[in-house]
Structure formats: structure tokens, C-alpha cells
Structure 1
Amino acid sequence: MVRIRPWSLCPLRHEDRPAHAWAANVGAGLATVGADNDPGGILTYSLAGAQYGFDLLWLCVLSVPSMVALQWIATRVGAVTGRGLTENMREHYARWLFLLAVARFLFANTLNIAADVLAMGEAAQLIFNGPVGWFALVFGGLSLAMQWCVPYARYARVGKWLCVTLFCYAGTLLVSDVPWRAALWDAFVPHITWSEHFFAMVLAVLGTTVSPYLLFSQAEQEVEAHPRGSAAVQPGRAPLAADSVQLQTARRETLIRTMLSNVFGALILGAAAVTLHVQHASLAVSRDAAQSIAPVAHGYATQILGIALLGTAMLALPPLAGSAAHAAASTFGWTRGAERDRRIALTLVGLMTGGALIAILLHACRVDAVRACYWSALANGMTVTPVLCLLVLLSRHREAVGALKTHVVVQLLSWLAVMATGAG
């Protein structure tokens, strides 16, 4: 018996383990940190810290409960129904509402892909010197080739070590003169500046913190873990004991993953606050962001930042492109199977190609990676509200999750995130 790789047209022996290029199929750790804090996250957090110091630190801290709740809802919906988020939304909501949410999600994901590819080009320039446009094409093509040919978990085991460079942000806080009392106060007490630019930055930080593409990837990962037709995925039935243990494991890993992601986001923002903000330095191009780690990296700061941007982009692009490809598959109602996998793979190629072309166009228009990543985070923040709203409503839908409706506390925390992004 042969199976078809969902990202390729080559046959796969039954005993081989298939790869799922669009699912962030990794546990808590460096790979998770890198996938959550892609170049858009690194540069947006750096920009927020450079412009507002510690004033936005509370977004990274107070958003943790809501983020855990949203990730857990995505996990449970995927595990219980045996279908991804977009498939569930398509089945249980009006078509126009579903299409609106998916269209906004696809737009934000494509812009995010373009920003990350452009950031890879600038990152390579920081390391090797050379033309940004060519580097963006080369590394964008390399990412696509790896998604097509290499199991995500396999190359994530290598790529995650590039994310060790993110610990330099923690090092900056350790060696710098940090006003810890003020920082802790700002971490738990919201500080509001009533200006359009401030609220735009709040929305951008929320957009890169919520990372809606990871919610879709999380649900798809659970679908793969609980094939359709098992007792665990029949709506209205309680899961078997083994499945209950698996759901508890998923809950624990969701908590660890979210906390790690937000901790590193806070470290990046804090490092920029004690360097760029204190020095009143501007963050106009990605090279300027290297000053956030200069206290520990010294003369190698630009190269280390380049490695961090490259590593996180390579880890984030598969779930970015894959979640968008799955959303497209659900929009057209493709039946699960080998043919659907082929179409998803081709859609993924189209999205990656389109993102790379947009990145080249942005570079030709002299748009740097900092602005592109900020615009991408802002687009995520502006488009995520309908997706989150449908996700929370889905967790209450008895036809979708049966007797395993989400706990009221989890729902309240999730609605808090919906209101926060909507108000922004």
C-alpha cells in the first residue's frame, strides 16, 4: 500500500512517516518560540519598545490567559470534530460570514508571508552583504523547497537552533540598567496614550501576539492526531480515556507554548525599551533593530539579528502558508484525501510565490522590512476579530463539539481577546 505525500506527488511507503508542511507539528521549545515570534514579531516588538518604552509591555503579559484560551479552543475543536477550523466554520455559519472571515485571513497571511520573505532578504544582507531582492528570492525559494520536500518536524529540529540568538534579548536586560520597578508596573498595569498612533501600535502588537495562523495550524495538528471516524471525534460522545489524556497533554503544551511565545515577545520589547528608547534612537530599517542586542553581541549584533530573522522566518512560513492553503481548501469544499492534499500543496506553492513577488515589489518600492512587518502586524490585528469571534462561537456550538462545550471561564477569556482586538 502506498500513500501520497500531501505536499508532493511522490509515493510514500506505508512505514514512512508523512510530513505535514502546514502544521506546526512541534512541542514547546525553541521551534515554537521561533514560529510564534517570526520576523514580523521581532521587528514589531522592537518598534513598540523603541517608540513607547515599557508602556506596551502589559500587552505581552495580560494577553497570556486569553491566548491560552484561544489556543485551547482551537485544539479542542480540531480534536473533537476531526475537522479544521475553516471546515467547521463553513459548515455551521452563513456562507457570506465564513467567506468574509476567510478572505480577511488570507489577505493577512499573504501580507505576512511577503513581510517575512522581505525580512529574510534583509537578514541575509546583514550576514553576507549583497542585494536584498536576490536574497529574498533565494531564501523564499529555499523555504518553499523545504516545505515541499522535507518533513517540518525534521528541519525544525535543525532550524530551531538558529533561534538560540533570541536569548540575546534576555542578555541585554541582564547587563543593562533596567528600571525593574517601573517595568513590572507597566507589565501589569495598562498605560494608555490617547493618540491614533498609539492605538495603531497596540493593534499591531496584538496582531503579532495573537498570531491567528497558529490557531488554524493547531486545529489541523489535532485533526491529524485524531483521524475522522474514531470515537474521539464523534460529536456528543465523551472521548476515551486515552484521548482524555491526550487532550490534557495538549492543554499543558498549549500553556507552555503560549507562555514561551509571550515571554520572548516581552524580552524583545523590553530590550528595545532599554536601548533604542532610552537612547532616543530611531528604528527605520532592520539594521537599527540590532542595537537592541548590541550590549551583549557587540560588533556581531547585525549578524546575530540576521540569523534570528532567518531562523524564525524559516520556522514560521510553513504554518503561515499551510494554514492559508487549508483555509482555501475549506472554502472550495474539497473532500479530504490524496487529491485534496495535492490541491492544498499547489495552493501553498501559489501563496508562497505570490508572497515572494509582493516582497520583491515592496523592495522595488523602497519599503523596508520594518515597515512591511509593521503593516503586516497591523493587518493581522485589523482582520483577526471576525476569525476569533467565529472561533469562540464555534466552541459553544453543540453540533460542532457535542457535550464537550468549552468551559465558561475559557469563553470569557476568549471574548476578552475578541473585544481587545475589536476595540483596537
Structure 2
Amino acid sequence: MLKIKNSLSIGPAAMVAAAFIGPGTVITASLAGANYGYALLWALLFAMLASIILQEMAARLGLVTGRGLGENIRDALQRPLWRWPAMALVVSAIVIGNAAYESGNLAGASAGLKLLTEAGAEPADTGTLWPIAVAAIAAALLWSGSYRTIERALIALVALMSLAFLLTFALSRPDMGALLSGLLVPSLPAGATLTAIALIGTTVVPYNLFLHSSSVSQKWQSAEQLPLARRDIFFSIPLGGLISIAIASTAASAFFAQQLSISSASEMARSLEPLFGTSARYCMGVGLFAAGISSALTAPLASAYALCGILGKSPDLKAIHFRAIWLAIIVIGALVAIQGIRPLRLIWFAQIANGLLLPIVTAFLLWTMNSSRLGLYRNAWWQNALGLLVLVISVVLGGRSLLAAFGWL
């Protein structure tokens, strides 16, 4: 474990924000705003609150036990009958799933770079140079083996992403009355059910629980530092939620009122230029790049933490096995990204695995947080009540993921 003498309370939760604000979130929020205006902003607000609830539990678990969620799962499931299925689920959903999604992260960052450097290029054409360059940057940062370096890089990317998307939001001059109504008054326009679920699903994801519990135990060393971890959560997760809300609101302001349609984040960025000037396109390009490369860092890192934990291996960032896991994720993602194809079968498989894993991990987290070994840091009744509410939602999300994977939705 790395010993870090740092009183700053921003770090591990910023990684979580960097993880869930990826190209997939940018696309989902953009399409939600363009197609339904401000009506689905309440789903993003709920997702932010649900994420705070679960990530606080994950952080508390990591601080009190000094171990990540993967290690705690392994310790609790001693019987092979339970351990092997759990390991299979983690490998499937976290490792294979993140390998599939890594290609989208690299392609998203590449699309952002192309928006900034090649104004006439087609949005869907990311070529081969940019994905390789982004993959190399991610690999170099992770290879450093320094938690502090990785954390600072991700904090910088979150700051850059925040500035870019919030500036784009300001340039789009949104209807603040409609925005507040969409946040505080839940509504479900015709045909918007799956979009609302998708907005929640892009924020409340299982691999962030593995990432957060492990990274917290890297930054802080005792349960007495829980207030610092909570301060980190209550700043970083709402910031991530605010970015998602800004993206959806920008699309609502630019496209919904104009009855214009978009099919991708890159197309949205290019379409903003005639409406609000070149600065809007450049801000969107910077935001898309930061979202892509930050997720390109966190997806391999979370995979390594999760797999090492569940297999009982050391989560040392400089260990050969740790580096081999995240490097494999990056290489697979880069190979798929430079081909310009979507890894449909891998994503289909990842949907099934994530649909199974999210409610299971949420239930295990609740069970663990009521263990007597946590002493004073066990869940209070109201934390259990909130956790059970999120568990019910995760079951709905898991069911939707499975149904969608089999083409039944």
C-alpha cells in the first residue's frame, strides 16, 4: 500500500466521477436532451444521489478494512460453490466488459481530438493514430505505478472536463425554469423509459465500487479519516452529476427546441458551431477528449483492482500481474478502436454480466456494511433503507440490461 501524506480531501471520488463521465455518458445525456428536452434531468439527479449512497459505503468499507471490495468478496465467500461463480461474474462484467468499453473510451477521446485539430474530418472517422496516441498516454500514466500521479492526472481531467462542458452549457443559454422543473418534477415522456434507465445506468455502475474501495485504501490509512473521504464524495460525485446535467441541458437548449436531431456526441459538437460559434464546438471537443481519456484510465485500473482482489493478489500498482491486467484491457481496446468497429459481441456479453453483477454487488455491499466487524462504522437504519432503495433500482437496471442484451426491449 502506498503511503501518501496528503491532507487534500479530493481524489478517489474524483476517479469515480472521471469513470462515469465517459463517452457513453456524453452520448446518452446528449441524446436524452436532444430527444426529450429537460424532462429527464430528474433521472440524472437520482443517479447522482444513488451513486453517493453506494460510493460512501464502498469508501467506508475500504477505509475500515484496509481492503478493496474484491478482497472483501473473496474473504466472505470461502466455499468454492459460491466463490467460483462470484469470480466468474467479476471477470465477465468488470474485465471483459471494460475491455469492450475501453475501445469506446479511446474512440471518444480520439473524436474529441479530431474536433480540435481537424475541423473538416468526418465525426465517425477517428483513424488509427489518435486511438493509439490516447492509449499510449493512458498506459504511460498507469505504468508510472504512482497513485499520486494517476490521481492528480484524473483530477486535472475532471477539472478540464468540468470547465469545457459548463462553458458549453453557458454558451447554449438554457431555459433555467424548464431546467429546474426537469430536475425536481419527475416526468416520463412517451418512449423515454429506456433513456431514463440508461441515464441512471451510466452513473450507477458496479466497477466504480471496486475502484473506489481500493483507491480509498491507497490514499488514506485509517477509519478516522472517513470525514475526508466523505468530503471527497460530496464534492466530486455531485460535480460529475452537474457535468451530466450540463451536457443534457446543452443538447436540450440547442436541439430540442429547434426540433433538430443528432446521433452522436461528435455530431452534436459540430452542430453547435453554427448555433453558438466555434467556441462551443471547441469546448465540446475538449470535454469529449477529457471524458474519453479519463475513462480510458479508470476502466483498466478498476479491472486490475477488481481481478486482483477477487483472486487474492496484491493490488500493488507496480506488481507485474497488476500491470498485465490493465495493459491487456488497453491493448484490446486500442486494437478494436483502430479497426473502427464496435465490439458488439463483447458488449452484448458485458451487458448480460453487468446486469447480473450490479444487484449482486449492491446486495453484497449492504450485507458487508452490516457486519459486526465494522463496529461503529456499520450502516445505520437510514443508510440501509437508502441502500435497499438503490438495490431495487439496480435490480430493475439489471433486468433491463439482460432484456436489452437478448433483444427483448
Q: Which residue of the other structure, out of 263, 279, 302, is the alignment partner of 2:258? A: 279
Residue 26 of structure 1 is matched in structure 2 by: 11
Q: Which residue of the other structure, out of 129, 136, 145, is the alignment partner of 1:141? A: 136
Provide Cα deviations, 1:60-105, integer angstroms capped at 9, x if missing partner: 2233332221111001100111110011012213214522541223
Asked if the contact 1:204/1:379 (under 8 Å) is kept, the reply is no
Aligned letter for 1:153? Answer: E
* CA apart distance, 1:172: 3.7
Provide Cα deviations, 1:290-347, integer angstroms capped at 9, x if missing partner: 16755885124333322211122222322221111111112322246688x2211111
Residue 423 of structure 1 is matched in structure 2 by: 396
* CA apart distance, 1:221: 2.1
- Output the CA distance in 1 between the equivalents of 2:181 and 2:214: 38
Aligned letter for 2:184? Answer: F
Moved more, 289-298 or 34-43: 289-298
SS state at 1:281 partner: coil
The 1:118/1:58 distance shift into structure 2, 3 A limit, reads same
- Give me the TM-score of the superposition, normalised by structure 2: 0.80
SS state at 2:127 partner: helix
Residue 37 of structure 1 is matched in structure 2 by: 21
Residue 165 of structure 1 is matched in structure 2 by: 164
Residue 337 of structure 2 is matched in structure 1 by: 359
SS state at 2:86 partner: helix
* CA apart distance, 1:283: 1.7
* CA apart distance, 1:422: 1.8
Residue 56 of structure 2 is matched in structure 1 by: 72
* CA apart distance, 1:350: 0.6
What are the equivalent positions in structure 2 for 1:118-267 lying under 5 Å apart?
118-129=107-118, 132-134=126-128, 135-149=130-144, 151-156=149-154, 158-160=156-158, 162-163=160-161, 164-172=163-171, 175-176=173-174, 178=175, 180-193=176-189, 195=191, 198-227=192-221, 232=222, 243-244=223-224, 246-267=225-246
Structure 1: gaps spanning 5 or more residues = 7-15, 19-23, 233-242
Is residue 51 from structure 1 mapped to residue 61 from structure 2 by the alignment? no
RMSD: 3.5
* CA apart distance, 1:34: 4.4
Aligned letter for 2:296? Answer: L
- Give me the TM-score of the superposition, normalised by structure 1: 0.78
Moved more, 290-299 or 406-415: 290-299
Asked if the contact 1:122/1:136 (under 8 Å) is kept, the reply is no
- Output the CA distance in 2 between the equivalents of 1:168 and 1:275: 14
Asked if the contact 2:106/2:333 (under 8 Å) is kept, the reply is yes
SS state at 2:259 partner: coil
The 1:336/1:37 distance shift into structure 2, 3 A limit, reads closer
The 1:52/1:281 distance shift into structure 2, 3 A limit, reads same
SS state at 1:50 partner: helix
* CA apart distance, 1:117: 0.7
Residue 311 of structure 1 is matched in structure 2 by: 290
* CA apart distance, 1:17: 6.8
Aligned letter for 2:50? Answer: S
- Output the CA distance in 1 between the equivalents of 2:227 and 2:275: 39
Residue 401 of structure 2 is matched in structure 1 by: none
How many residues matched?
378
* CA apart distance, 1:106: 2.7
- Output the CA distance in 1 between the equivalents of 2:182 and 2:348: 22
Q: Which residue of the other structure, out of 393, 397, 421, is the alignment partner of 2:367? A: 393
- Output the CA distance in 1 between the equivalents of 2:213 and 2:181: 35
Aligned letter for 1:155? Answer: A
Residue 11 of structure 1 is matched in structure 2 by: none
Asked if the contact 1:207/1:382 (under 8 Å) is kept, the reply is no
- Output the CA distance in 1 between the equivalents of 2:188 and 2:356: 19
Asked if the contact 1:207/1:379 (under 8 Å) is kept, the reply is no
Aligned letter for 1:423? Answer: V
Q: Percent identity?
A: 22
Provide Cα deviations, 1:86-133, integer angstroms capped at 9, x if missing partner: 110122132145225412233332233221111122222212226513
Aligned letter for 1:98? Answer: A
SS state at 2:182 partner: helix
Moved more, 275-284 or 72-81: 275-284
SS state at 2:203 partner: helix
- Output the CA distance in 1 between the equivalents of 2:333 and 2:62: 28
The 1:100/1:44 distance shift into structure 2, 3 A limit, reads same
Moved more, 278-287 or 149-158: 149-158
* CA apart distance, 1:353: 0.8
The 1:420/1:264 distance shift into structure 2, 3 A limit, reads same
